[in-house]
A and B are shown apart, each in its own frame.
Chain A
Amino acid sequence: MTQPLVDVVGLETHFPVRKGLLRREVGAVRAVDGVSFSVERGRTLGLVGESGCGKTTVGRSILRLVEPTGGSVRFDGRDVLATGGADLRGLRRRMQIVFQDPYGSLNPRMKVRSILEEGLIIHRLGGADDRLERMTRALARTGLTAAALDRYPHEFSGGQRQRIAIARAIVIEPDFLVLDEPISALDVSIQAQVVNLLVELREQLGLTYLFISHDLSVVEYVSDDVAVMYLGRIVERAPAARLYAEPLHPYTLALFSAVPSVEPGRRRRRIVLTGDVPSPARPPSGCRFHPRCPLAEQVCRQVEPPATVIDGHAVHCHVAARELQQAGGDAAVAAARMAALMAPTAASASPAAV
């Protein structure tokens, strides 16, 4: 196996909570609390989870747009968290990001030319005439023309702005892109175009993606591997096809049951979770999902579940681990058992759906 392009181990990003006149630190919001994954060159890792689970913070921490408080991030073998100054700038040329809101992410005071050119100037890519060619090429790749260069962001629609944001990211020829909910703010009619554009760019430019989204169907379409996050941790991770076919974690099952089906005849059993997501400032003991998990047992309240890995499918769940063991390591059998165990909650929650 080759060395992964991005290797994250035990990443922690805690935001201090300060109170009082002296602003003493009274606690911390553990937005990201021990996240590990790796992405190989040319592949796409989808990161899913509900709002507030820390997935956006993971993306920003990898690029050091927020400072992680622990763990390690290696990019192409180099320690991202230990670099600074010119080295960090060099890394930033190779690691770029596209934000969710194309209305907020482009400086309203700068023409598209300056927005694109700034990165080239900072990283000393090309001379003055060469820069124009690079910018035109980047715009063309995203379906825009050089006419866009002399206009301001407010003169474009949301979809066009997101194309500009993507052109802005690829113009300095990065290897790795963090896509932080890149289509969530767009009209549904535009979403598919932008997703297809991102897939094309990945093929053409050999890019590696971290695709952050709460849209499970888009993640399935785009990703090679998918990780599910809950309350600052990854609870399950597998190749996309495996995860969608054989989900093992109760949270993943509940998440998937919430996706509306496009097949008219087929109705899903919706698993309704009770209670709210606990505060990341005071995460629960043991398994973080136990207060809301219908299958929670005594051990779940006390012991943090370690990863159980079968053929690259990792799950952090005591119950799923036991089922996997009983099924002799057959994930398909274990997944069916987990679904059956979860079924009563679904039936009781929406009896009409049975």
Chain B
Amino acid sequence: MATYLLRRLLLGLLTLVAITFIVYGLARNMPGTPLTVQMGESDPSRKLNPEDQERMKRIYGLDRPWHEGYLRWLGNVVRGDLGRSFSRKQPVTTLIGERIGPTFLLSGTALLLTWLLGVPLGLYASARSGLADERATSLLLYILYSFPTFVAALFLQIIFAVWLRGTSWELPLFGMSDLPADAGWAARSVDIARHAILPVTCQTYVSLAYDSRFIKANMEEAVRQDYIRTARAKGAGPGRVLFHHAFRNTLIPLVTLLGLSLPGLIGGSVIIEQIFTWPGMGRLFFESIRERDYPTIMGLTLMFSVLTLIGQLLADLLYCLVDPRVSVE
């Protein structure tokens, strides 16, 4: 067990170095630098003169080739320093710390809803497979699955923020809160919850459709097995056959799915956070790329990679729990 973990850890570190190397290379070789993007494009009068540009480049280390910059970044990371954001003049860790909460609120709620609704829905669909109600539900889920979130988000915004304006059904168009920070704790909670309804809905419906279809497909595979017939021959009732015999055998693919959704929990959704201007990680990522804010891009990349690797490791360890045939040795 210990050797297995050690091997996975070493392998994970190698993977991290490879990922960050590639992303750093891509980021540094994108057209534009933090200087051109930040000032020159929006306001020509504020364009830096060549001497100032050279001076700034030296300060930020942008005069050196990108692979040297990568090594310096890597060295700082090993010492626990993720650097300072170019555009926001703050340590990257502080920026991430501010954004993690809102994203976790959004993604965590969506993930919880997805699984709370998706598992029963998938089980229901497999139990009533082929019947009229199941086929109607499955068709609806299929339509939802193929419906892009950015279109759904716009529709929801039109319906709840424009058409229903002034009614008790009105929901905020964007943002996380309209109240000042010193408003009461309860009032702010309600306000944030109201702001979260639309983005959470958008983030939930696609994965809900995907997950329940996935569960249904796995259940239908399990239900065809001979051991299900054995269970029925024993005299086990339909509920026991469904949960105890079939569902338990579909846990492995579900655990994989859950492991893969872990990075999204912290990483958030770039599209949804951008549309609803939710102050989360996805939006930070999008903005840092637009601003060529290399330290922030790299800090976020590192965090997403670590989370992905941890999610996979957790899934692999969970296999041993749910399947007696799997062992880490």
A interface residues with partner B (beta carbon < 8 Å): 23, 60, 63, 65, 88-89, 92-93, 96-97, 99-101, 104-109, 111, 118-119, 122-123, 152, 154, 165, 168-169, 172
Contacts and interface: CB of A to CB of B under 8 A. Distances in A.
B230 A108 contact: no
Contacts of B248: 109
B235 A123 contact: yes
B165 interface: no
B89 interface: no
A121 B79 CA distance: 60
Nearest to A97: B233
A152 B235 contact: no
B233 A63 contact: yes
Nearest to B232: A65
Nearest to B230: A105
Interface in B144-202: none
Contacts, number: 66
B227 A106 contact: yes
8 A-B pairs closest in CB distance: A104-B226, A105-B226, A92-B235, A107-B227, A119-B234, A89-B235, A152-B324, A122-B235
Contacts of B233: 63, 65, 92, 96-97, 169
User: Which label, helix, strand, loop or mixed, suits the secondary structure of the B interface?
Assistant: helix
B236 interface: yes
Question: B130, B227, B236: which has the most chain A beta carbons within 10 Å?
Answer: B227
A60 B229 contact: yes
B249 interface: yes
B235 A23 contact: no
15 contacts: A23-B130, A63-B233, A65-B229, A65-B232, A88-B235, A92-B235, A104-B225, A104-B226, A105-B226, A106-B227, A108-B324, A109-B322, A119-B234, A152-B325, A168-B234
B231 interface: yes
Interface of B: 130, 135, 225-227, 229-237, 245, 248-249, 322-325
A106 B235 contact: no
Nearest to A66: B229
B235 A108 contact: no
Contact of B236 (A60, A99, A118): A118
A168 B230 contact: yes
Contact of B234 (A23, A118, A154): A118
A154 B325 contact: yes
A99 B235 contact: no
Contacts of A104: 225-227
Contacts of B231: 107, 118
A165 B230 CA distance: 9
A105 B230 CA distance: 6
Contact of A108 (B229, B232, B249): B249
B324 A93 contact: no
Contacts of B135: 23
A107 to B, nearest CB: 4
A144 B234 CA distance: 21
Nearest to B225: A104
Nearest to A91: B235
Nearest to A106: B227
A138 to B, nearest CB: 13
B324 A109 contact: yes
Given A65-B232, A118-B236, A123-B235, A99 B226 contact: yes
A106 B249 contact: no
A100 B230 CA distance: 11
A107 B230 contact: yes
Contacts of A119: 234-235
A105 B248 CA distance: 15
Contacts of B236: 118, 122
A15 to B, nearest CB: 12
Contacts of A65: 229, 232-233
A333 B323 CA distance: 62
Nearest to B132: A23
A125 to B, nearest CB: 11
Contacts of B237: 89
Given A96-B233, A107-B231, A123-B235, 5 more contacts: A97-B230, A104-B225, A106-B230, A108-B324, A109-B324
